Amino acid sequence: MKKLAFIKRSNGSHWVGDGFPVKSIFSYSDIAEEMSPFLLMDYAGPANFPSTTRKLGVGQHPHRGFETVTIVYEGGVSHRDSSGGGGTIGPGDVQWMTAASGLIHEEFHSPAFAEQGGVFEMVQLWVNLPARDKMAAPGYQGIAAGQIPESTLPGNAGTVRIIAGQHGDIQGPARSFTPMNVWDLRLKAGHRVAFDLPDGHTTALFVLRGSLRVDGKHNIRSAELAVMERAGSRLEFEVLEDATVLLLNGEPLNEPVVGYGPFVMNSEAEIRQAIDDFNSGRFGQIGH
């Protein structure tokens, strides 16, 4: 049985550009080792935006050495990058962008959401790449809600949307470089939920709304992350209130993490190279 290691709360709130008011739940500068292969999680919203004709979001910026995974719960995000990837995602959709050897991208509220306004809520994860793949070709996976399979839990305790990895015999659509599970859980109060997950892998539960109880005594509430010990192959917890939860589970990389802003590599020399390559224009340009 996987036991609770600790509860991680926000490092504080800040704006990413002018469109994403985020709580930084964790990053590679605080619990990189414990959360490997996950490097960072920003939780944006829920926040209300009035109708506007302005482009709200964050303009062109670079990444190298990892993947960004954007999961939209409310609102819409439009993305373009220098690898030619791009698209608009809305509630239930996921964008899985592989920066790898380097690209430039931009993210804004989708035109339709900006025009109508309303509640905006999303999670952005940074997923580390193993050293052997950090200089792989960039890529983009736009995953529509309809492509994400959903499984009903025993006893009608809720549902699991399998974004990445496998639940039972159901495989998620996202392609990842190392083994991981990224699941969107919608759980009903009063149920006990159990999952079989690989022994020795990182496991964490992020609660967007509602509340859970782990180990029979620790309550996990909105915007809190329950990080479990790696030992054990079974995860069990109680659902105290109807809950929306993001389950993260993955094989630790056990490699050095050296980060500088939007670049995450394995050594200082690789970071210097990333900065030089970006400044020299080797990350390409976003087409018009």
The gap from C-alpha 220 to its chain's centroid, in whole angstroms, comes to 19
How confident is the model over 8-65, as pLDDT tens digits? 999 889 999 999 999 999 999 999 999 999 999 999 989 999 999 999 999 999 999 9
Model pLDDT, residue 106: 97
How confident is the model over 165-199, as pLDDT tens digits? 999 999 999 999 999 999 999 999 999 999 999 99
Model pLDDT, residue 288: 63
pTM of the full predicted structure? 0.97
Backbone angles phi, psi at 20, to 5 degrees: -130, 95
Opening angle at CA 17, ends 263 and 80, nearest 5: 65
Model pLDDT, residue 11: 82
Structure tokens at 143: 């995953």
| Mean per-residue pLDDT of the chain | 97
Q: Give the Cα separation of 245 and 223 in Å (integer).
A: 10
